[in-house]
Amino acid sequence: MEAKNDPRFATAMTHNDADPSRKAVSKFEESLLAVLQFFLDPHHARFPKQPRRDGDGSGTGGGHHFPSKEKELQVIRNGIARPPCLSRASVDLIEDTLAKGCILFLVLEGGWRSDRFLHAGQPQRGRVWEREPLVERTLAFSSHVIEFLLWATAEKVHETNAPWDAPPERLTPADELFFWLAFDACRTDPDLIAVLRRKNAFRANPLCWISFPADIADDNGAASPDFAPVMHGLRSIILACLQQHLLKRWIQSEGKKCNTSDWTKLRQQGRAEFAALQAFLGAAAAAGRMDLARFVLGTNAALFQGDLTPAFWTGGLQGSGPARLADRLDTQRSALAVPRQMAVLEQWQERARSIGYFDDDYAASQMWKQEWEAVDGDTIARRAHAAVQMLEPLRTSAASEPVEPQAQ
Amino acid sequence: MSRAYRISMKESDTRCLKAGDEIGTQLEILDILPPEDMATLLREELEKRGFAEQDDGTMARSDGAVTVTVDPCSGEVTVKAQAEETVSQEARREASGFNDVGPNEGSLRERVKEQLKQDLNKKFEQEQSRLQNEATEKLEKHLQKIQPEISEIVNKVTRDALKEKAQQLGTVKEIAEDPETGSLTIKLEV
Cβ-Cβ contacts under 8 Å for A343 (sequence gap 6 or more): A381, A385
pLDDT, mean of residues A216-224: 73
pLDDT, mean of residues B110-115: 91
Check B150 against A408: CB less than 8 A apart. Answer: no
Of B25, B29, B30, the CB nearest to A394: B25
Check A398 against B154: CB less than 8 A apart. Answer: yes
pLDDT of residue B7: 87
pLDDT of residue A397: 54
Check B29 against A324: CB less than 8 A apart. Answer: no
Which of the four pLDDT bands, split at 50, 70 and 90, describes residue A19?
low
Of B29, B136, B155, the CB nearest to A323: B136
Which one of A320, A396, A403, A404 would you mutate to disrupt binding with B, by most B Cβ within 10 Å of its Cβ? A396
CA–CA separation, A305 and A307 (whole Å): 7
CB B137 within 8 A of CB B149: no
- List, for residues A338-356, the tens digit of each pLDDT value: 999 999 999 999 999 999 9
pLDDT of A403 higher than 60: no
Cβ-Cβ contacts under 8 Å for B109 (sequence gap 6 or more): B7, B9
- List, for residues A111-129, the tens digit of each pLDDT value: 999 999 999 889 999 999 9
Which of the four pLDDT bands, split at 50, 70 and 90, describes residue A183?
very high
pLDDT of B34 higher than 80: yes
Check A398 against B146: CB less than 8 A apart. Answer: no
Is pTM beyond 0.90? Reply is no
Of B30, B140, B150, the CB nearest to A394: B150
CB B27 within 8 A of CB B58: no
Check B139 against A325: CB less than 8 A apart. Answer: yes
CA–CA separation, B145 and B103 (whole Å): 61
Which of the four pLDDT bands, split at 50, 70 and 90, describes residue A77?
confident
The top-scoring range by mean pLDDT among A195-199, A249-253, B104-108 is A249-253
Of A324, A399, A402, the CB nearest to B136: A324
CB B12 within 8 A of CB B91: yes
* Letter string b/e over residues A332-348, b meaning 16 or more CB atoms within 10 A of that residue's CB: bbbbbbbbbbbebbbeb
pLDDT of residue A48: 56
Check A408 against B187: CB less than 8 A apart. Answer: yes
- Find residue B174's DSSP bridge partners: B187
Which residues in chain B touch residue A393, judged by CB atoms under 8 angstroms apart?
23, 25, 79, 143, 147
Which of the four pLDDT bands, split at 50, 70 and 90, describes residue A64?
very low
Greater pLDDT, A272 or A81? A272
CA distance B20 to chain A (A): 8
pLDDT, mean of residues A130-139: 92
Which of the four pLDDT bands, split at 50, 70 and 90, describes residue A229?
very high
pLDDT of residue B188: 84
Which residues in chain B touch residue A392, judged by CB atoms under 8 angstroms apart?
25-26
Q: What is the DSSP string of A262-314?
A: -HHHHHHHHHHHHHHHHHHHHHHHHHT-GGGGHHHHHHHHHHTTS---THHHH
pLDDT of residue A163: 85
Which residues in chain B touch residue A325, judged by CB atoms under 8 angstroms apart?
21, 23, 136, 139-140
Q: What are phi and psi of B177, to 5 degrees?
A: -120, 135
pLDDT of residue A102: 94
Which one of B42, B46, B136, B184 would you mutate to disrupt binding with A, by most A Cβ within 10 Å of its Cβ? B136
Check A393 against B147: CB less than 8 A apart. Answer: yes
Angle at B134 between CA B128 and CA B139, to 5 degrees: 130
Of A326, A396, A408, the CB nearest to B151: A396
CB neighbourhood size of B168 (10 A):
9
Nearest CA in chain B to A323: B133
Check B27 against A329: CB less than 8 A apart. Answer: no
Chain A interface residues facing chain B, Cβ-Cβ under 8 Å? 323-326, 329, 389, 392-400, 402, 408
The radius of gyration computed from the CA coordinates of chain A, to the nearest angstrom, equals 24
Which residues in chain A touch residue B25, judged by CB atoms under 8 angstroms apart?
392-395
Through-space distance between the first and last CA atoms of chain B, rounded to whole angstroms = 112
Q: What is the largest CA-CA distance in chain A?
A: 92
Which residues in chain A touch residue B136, judged by CB atoms under 8 angstroms apart?
323-325
CB B76 within 8 A of CB B65: no
pLDDT of residue A222: 60
pLDDT of A9 higher than 50: no
CA–CA separation, A267 and A254 (whole Å): 14
- List, for residues B119-178, the tens digit of each pLDDT value: 999 999 999 999 999 999 999 999 999 999 999 999 999 999 999 999 888 888 888 888
ipTM topping 0.90: no
Q: Distance between alpha carbon A333 and the CA centroid of its chain, in Å?
A: 24
Q: What percent of chain B has pLDDT over 70?
A: 99
- Find residue B8's DSSP bridge partners: B94
